[in-house]
Amino acid sequence: MIRLDNFTVKIGDKVILKNIKFTFEPDRVYCLMGPNGSGKSTFAYALAGHPAYQLEEGSKIYFCEEDITDLSPDKRAKKGMFLSFQTPLSLNGVNAFQLLRLSLGEEADPLSLKKEIEAVAKKLHVKKELLSRSLNEGASGGERKKLEMLQAAVIKPKFVILDEIDTGVDIDALKSIGRFLEEFKKGRTIVLITHYSRILRYINPDKVLVIIDGQIKREGGQELVAEIEDKGYQFYR
Amino acid sequence: MTDNQSLHFDYRYGFSMPEKYVFKTRKGLDSDIVKEISYFKKEPVWMTEFRLKAYQAFKKRPLPSWGADLSGINFDDIYYYIKPTEDQKKTWDELPREIKETYDKIGVPEAEKKFLAGVSAQYESEVVYKSIQKELARQGVIFVDMDTAVRDYPKIVKEYFGTVVSPHDNKFASLNSAVWSGGSFVYVPTGVKVSLPLQAYFRINAKNFGQFERTLIIAEEGSYVHYIEGCTAPIYTSDSLHAAVVEIIVKKGARVRYTTVQNWSKNVYNLVTKRAKVEEEAVMEWVDCNIGSRVTMKYPSCILAGRKARGEVLSIAYASENQLQDAGAKMIHLAPETSSRIISKSIAGRGGRTSYRGLVYVSPRAEFSFSYVSCDALILDERSRSDTYPTMKIETWKTFIQHEATVERLGEEKLFYLQSRGIKKAEAEGLLVNGFIEPVTKEIPLEYSIELNRLINLEMSGSVG
């Protein structure tokens, strides 16, 4: 699905991710774990194409074997990439419907889109008034994350990065998100970025990656989670 | 206007023209031209005198020393009066083809079919097309062009004309008072609520042509009316001047809303004096959206003259390359328990400049008054500029005044967020800008807000290429 080659990312002069080589397979759930400052969010932003993150020459990103290294964020999204933000910003005067309508473009029928949004909102327990309001405005942490999921559900991407979907979320919201992901993951590649194992109660990763100091230090199955819980990230340095 | 050109000749005072001829004053302004205009319109003596006095005031008054640079206006190079067709046409079919095409482009007939209560469309300096539905007449509502009003309703016009905006108010109000032509006259009798908005369309399209329309709205006690003016102008090359005056009298317990969606072409000096006198427990709302023009100086005002009077100004200004939008509002609190609210949203891009200029005055008598001012500026790039000039003159302690101002850049992070949803950068910018002005656009009728959003997207698309 996504193949990274020599993936080296800088902000200004500072190198954050070093020479990552990795392939994300289709129809798999990955869990990217690591301590604060290890480069987890950089990983998410750089993949999505944030302009502040520069790739070192020779770094390559392939989407289904197509080189997307130089594509703008919107073009990457059109290929099927989706980033759920750690702290989704509130957008004054822009509601979920307006955003999604532009996102899907002309082919989307406004009426069926509206119905679809409402149906997904119901599934995720998103309050109806949040849909007509400016996106994320006055929304709690959990509501914001659920609205991210709502967008993913409507856009239907193939490759989904969830940056700390479990941060700032109460237990009920986390349950709704977990239940949603259980169904949503089918046929997609999901990358869960987290530093807690909390979310893993609701969704089972096929593979766990430990990222420390900008490098993938360890790969393994679910058993790795228990090891991290037990020994802490220190162990992998 | 080929007919217009071939028929045009310099008109001399006293010379009587055959009825069907088209009339145009020579360029420039002197008291003879003022007299000619009045003579040609067959106005009563009091109006001729009013015009002449105003002309004297205009001559004496220097250009404003503050605000925009107006030195580019050449008062001698302007036609102050052009009459495009002889009579006012009652039906659409009777209109000249060229004028019809112009209106087709801005969608007048469709709009009328939908929900217009009456159309009073201004073509060049005169209202040429007008239709009033029977319902309005039945309610006793008068909605005619100002020239007709002077002729048919002299008593009421004479009572109110020039009482809210004096011909000595400012240079451009003086000029308008001297040479005004067209505009609307609206009279709403006591207790009558006009359920559909009254609409007028304006369009300038003669070279070197100034438009000086004059609007007077009188809302009697407990009445309600919403008046909408939508202005678009085609592009032409030499400088043009638009100096309008709008006077509104809102009597006890009445409510008037005046909505403007204006898109002058980029060489127009748009210098408009809009003022309302708001009496006891009455409400005046100005919704003012300005795109286009070279310079706009416009500060819709409310004189809150009666106890519990309320005034509101919601405005949007968009300035692009070589444009200055100097817009704002004035709230004059003269009576106790009066309240006002000003919400101003401005956007500057491609080196454009916006200024908010506002005045809140609370007189010693206006105890327990309340005023809220919020002005937000959005700047799209480094070349653009925004300034805020708020003035607060408060002469009583027993009042509550609030002022908020923000300036922001179009946020990179928000753009990235939208782009990560597959939205192109230019579209994302448009979405954010339209979101920024949404608190105001939601107050204007849907068809206008859609048009406004489109215009802004159009402007924006130029900025990103």
DSSP state of B164: S
Q: Percentage of chain A surpassing pLDDT 70?
A: 100
Report yes or no: B152 at the A interface, CB cutoff 8 Å. Answer: no
Other beta carbons within 10 angstroms of residue B413's beta carbon come to 12
Whether residue B244 sits in one domain with residue B148: yes
- How many CB contacts within 8 angstroms connect chain A with chain B? 79
Report yes or no: B418 at the A interface, CB cutoff 8 Å. Answer: yes
Q: How many angstroms separate the CA atoms of B373 and A175, rounded?
A: 44
* A66 bridge partner residues: A63
Closest CA to B353 of B322, B315, B391: B322
Of B385, B400, B420, which one is at a domain's C-terminal end? B420
Q: How many angstroms separate the CA atoms of A27 and A190, rounded?
A: 8
Q: Which residue of A has its CA nearest to B413?
A: A89
Whether residue B438 sits in one domain with residue B387: no
Residue B63: CA count within 13 A, CB half-sphere: 12
Closest CA to B170 of B65, B31, B36: B65
For chain B, what is the domain count? 2
A173 Cα to chain B: minimum distance (Å) = 22
Specify the CATH number for the domain of residue A123.
3.40.50.300
Residue A100 to residues A44, A113, A121, A150, Cα–Cα distance (Å): 21, 8, 13, 10
* Residue B381 covered by a domain: yes
pLDDT band at A201 (very low <50, low <70, confident <90, very high): confident
Q: How many angstroms separate the CA atoms of B434 and B430, rounded?
A: 6
Whether residue B228 sits in one domain with residue B156: yes
Report yes or no: B434 at the A interface, CB cutoff 8 Å. Answer: yes
A193 Cα to chain B: minimum distance (Å) = 17
Across the interface, whether the CB atoms of A89 and B417 are under 8 A apart is answered yes
Across the interface, whether the CB atoms of B420 and A74 are under 8 A apart is answered yes
pLDDT of residue B409: 85
pLDDT of residue B463: 45
Q: How many angstroms separate the CA atoms of B165 and B299, rounded?
A: 13
DSSP state of B10: -
Query: In a 3-state reduction of DSSP, which class is residue B375?
Result: strand
What mean pLDDT value characterizes chain A?
92
pLDDT of residue A155: 96
The residues, any chain, with a CB within 8 Å of residue B421's CB and separated by 6 or more, are A74, A77, A82, A99, A100, A102, A103, A151, A155
Of B404, B420, B436, which one is at a domain's C-terminal end? B420
A97 Cα to chain B: minimum distance (Å) = 12
DSSP E strand boundaries for B234-321: 240-242, 245-250, 255-264, 268-278, 283-292, 295-298, 301-304, 310-319
> Is A120 within 8 Å of B464 (Cβ atoms)?
no
B263 Cα to chain A: minimum distance (Å) = 23
pLDDT by residue for chain B (465 residues), tens digit each? 333 333 333 322 222 233 333 567 788 899 999 999 999 889 999 999 999 999 999 999 999 988 899 988 989 888 888 765 544 444 555 555 655 555 555 454 444 433 333 344 444 334 433 455 577 888 999 988 898 899 999 999 999 999 999 999 999 999 999 999 888 899 999 999 998 788 765 444 443 345 888 999 999 999 999 998 875 544 443 558 889 999 999 999 999 999 998 877 778 899 999 999 999 999 999 999 988 889 999 999 999 999 999 999 999 999 998 999 999 999 999 999 999 999 999 999 989 999 999 999 999 999 999 999 999 999 998 899 999 999 999 999 999 999 999 898 888 899 999 999 999 998 899 899 989 999 898 888 877 787 777 777 777 765 433
The residues, any chain, with a CB within 8 Å of residue B102's CB and separated by 6 or more, are B123, B203, B205
Residue A186 to residues A157, A158, A159, B12, B183, Cα–Cα distance (Å): 12, 10, 11, 86, 65
Task: Find the CB nearest A103 among B422, B425, B434.
Answer: B422
DSSP state of B95: S
Q: What is the domain range of residue A105?
A: 2-236
* Residue B164 covered by a domain: yes
Tokens of A105: 């473009």
* Of residues A76 and B267, more confidently modeled: A76
Whether residue B433 sits in one domain with residue B402: no
Whether residue B428 sits in one domain with residue B398: no
ipTM of the complex as predicted: 0.96
Q: What is the domain range of residue B432?
A: 421-465
Largest CA distance in chain A: 54
For chain A, what is the domain count? 1
pLDDT of residue B121: 46
Report yes or no: B426 at the A interface, CB cutoff 8 Å. Answer: no
Averaged pLDDT for residues A164-179: 91
Residues 144-183 of A with CB under 8 A from B: 151, 155
Which of chain B's residues have a Cβ under 8 Å away from the Cβ of A94? 431-432, 434-435, 438
pLDDT of residue B237: 37
Report yes or no: A11 at the B interface, CB cutoff 8 Å. Answer: no
* Residue B451 covered by a domain: yes
Whether residue B270 sits in one domain with residue B284: yes
Q: Which residue of A has its CA nearest to B442?
A: A93
pLDDT of residue B26: 82
Whether residue B248 sits in one domain with residue B357: yes
Element spanning B112, H or E: helix B108-115
pLDDT of residue A36: 87
Task: Find the CB nearest A93 among B412, B423, B438.
Answer: B438
Whether residue B248 sits in one domain with residue B136: yes
Whether residue B460 sits in one domain with residue B404: no
Q: How many angstroms separate the CA atoms of B246 and B313, rounded?
A: 15
Task: Find the CB nearest B420 among A83, A92, A94.
Answer: A83
* Residue B45 covered by a domain: no
